[in-house]
C-alpha cells in the first residue's frame, strides 16, 4: 500500500486519556509528509532520468546494430570487390595470353616469310651470278675471237 504525503497529513488519531501531544504529532506528521513529498519528487526525477538513460541505451543499441550492419555491408562489398577484381584479372590474363599467342604466331609467320624471301633472294643472286659469269665468259670468248681475228689480219 502506497502512502502519499496527503495521506500522512490527513491521518486522524483517536484521542484517549493521557494521549500524545496533538501539536507534536501533527508537527511530526507534517515533517514526515514533507519528507515523503521530497522523496516522491526525487523518485519521479530519478524515474525520468532512468527513462531518459534507457532511451539513450536503446538509441545506442540501435546505432550499434546499424553500425554492425554497415560493417557487414562493407565487408560484403569488400569481398565482392575482391572477387570481381580477381575475375577481371583472370579475364585480362586470358586475353593477354591470347593476344601474346596471336602476336607470336604473326611474328613466326613473318619470320617464315622473311626466311623464304631470303632463300629466294639467294637463289636469284646465284642465278644472276651464273648468268653474269656466262655473259662475261661469252664476252671474253668474243674478245679472244676478236683478238685472234685481228691477229690474222
* Gap between the Cα atoms of 11 and 20, Å rounded: 14
Q: How far apart are CA 59 and CA 8, in angstroms?
A: 41
Tell the residue number behind the cell numbers 496533538, with chain if given: 22
Calpha distance 21→37 (Å, rounded):
24
* Whole-number Å distance between alpha carbons of 27 and 94: 99
Average pLDDT (1-27) is: 77
Predicted confidence at residue 152, as pLDDT, reads: 81
pTM above 0.85, yes or no: no
Tell me, what's the pLDDT at 133?
96
Tell me the domain boundaries of the chain: 5-11+19-152
Amino acid at each position: 500500500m502506497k502512502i502519499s504525503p496527503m495521506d500522512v497529513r490527513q491521518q486522524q488519531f483517536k484521542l484517549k486519556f493521557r494521549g500524545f501531544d496533538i501539536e507534536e504529532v501533527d508537527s511530526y506528521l507534517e515533517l514526515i509528509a514533507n519528507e515523503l513529498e521530497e522523496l516522491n519528487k526525487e523518485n519521479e526525477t530519478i524515474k525520468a532520468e532512468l527513462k531518459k538513460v534507457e532511451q539513450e541505451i536503446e538509441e545506442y543499441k540501435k546505432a550499434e546494430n546499424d553500425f554492425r550492419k554497415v560493417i557487414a555491408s562493407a565487408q560484403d562489398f569488400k569481398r565482392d570487390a575482391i572477387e570481381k577484381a580477381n575475375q577481371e584479372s583472370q579475364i585480362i590474363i586470358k586475353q593477354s595470353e591470347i593476344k601474346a599467342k596471336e602476336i607470336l604466331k604473326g611474328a613466326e609467320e613473318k619470320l617464315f616469310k622473311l626466311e623464304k624471301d631470303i632463300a629466294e633472294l639467294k637463289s636469284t643472286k646465284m642465278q644472276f651470278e651464273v648468268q653474269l659469269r656466262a655473259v662475261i665468259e661469252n664476252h671474253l670468248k668474243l674478245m679472244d675471237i676478236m683478238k685472234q681475228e685481228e691477229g690474222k689480219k
